[in-house]
Amino acid sequence: MSNQNQWSFPMLAVSLALCLPNLAHGEMSADAPAARNMAAMKFGPVPGLPTCAAGSVQTGDPGKGSFIILAKLDTGCSIPWHWHTAGEDLMIVSGTARIEMKDGPSQTLRAGGFALLPAQHVHQFLCKNKCTFFFYSDGAFDIHYVDAQGTELSPDAALKAVKEKAVPAMK
């Protein structure tokens, strides 16, 4: 992968550590039982993702390690070809999404649909009809956008191709 954007990933990690933990309404941890409904969850923008995506941290700290986020994407929201350092699992709650994977199956996912994406596996995601899904990762959140040849792109360059803008990193 290219080194051209390495400066942005530490900034993204700091932004996530500052921003995402504040998205959850009330802290949930593995130390105590907890429950909440979606109406009680606070959603907010996720640095590095398009502005058409929002997230609510359910548990964990995306800036430091494993976590679960409930994500909402608008109809037509696209997260172009990318990969994450850690593995991720997606489970669709509502809506319809299309996930495409390099060297793997492409699939239209509906409520209850599940995708398993190993660490560093290149994929893209398109919300075809207002999507809500749980996103679990076994490590800290990062996103590395790539072009068709696998060359790393900045979030702005990657998202410009889908007529979107990246949520800026917090300063």
Q: What is the mean pLDDT of residues 14-19?
A: 44
Question: In b/e form, how buried is each residue of 17-46, taking b as 16+ CB within 10 angstroms?
Answer: bebbbebbeeebeeeeeeeeeeeebebebb
In the chain, domain spans: 8-28+38-160
Which residues is 70 bridged to in the sheet?
56, 134
For the stretch 28-80, pLDDT in tens is 666 788 899 999 999 999 888 999 999 999 999 999 999 999 999 999 999 99
Return d(Cα 85, Cα 140) in angstroms, integer: 8
Bigger pLDDT: 110 vs 31: 110
| CATH T-level fold of 8-28+38-160 | Jelly Rolls (2.60.120)
pLDDT of residue 171: 53
pLDDT of residue 10: 42
Assess whether pLDDT exceeds 80 at residue 13.
no
For the stretch 159-168, pLDDT in tens is 998 888 888 7
Return d(Cα 18, Cα 132) in angstroms, integer: 23
- Start-to-end CA distance of the chain, whole Å, equals 26
Question: Residue 137 — very low, low, confident or very high, per pLDDT cuts 50/70/90?
Answer: very high
pLDDT of residue 26: 45
Assess whether pLDDT exceeds 50 at residue 17.
no
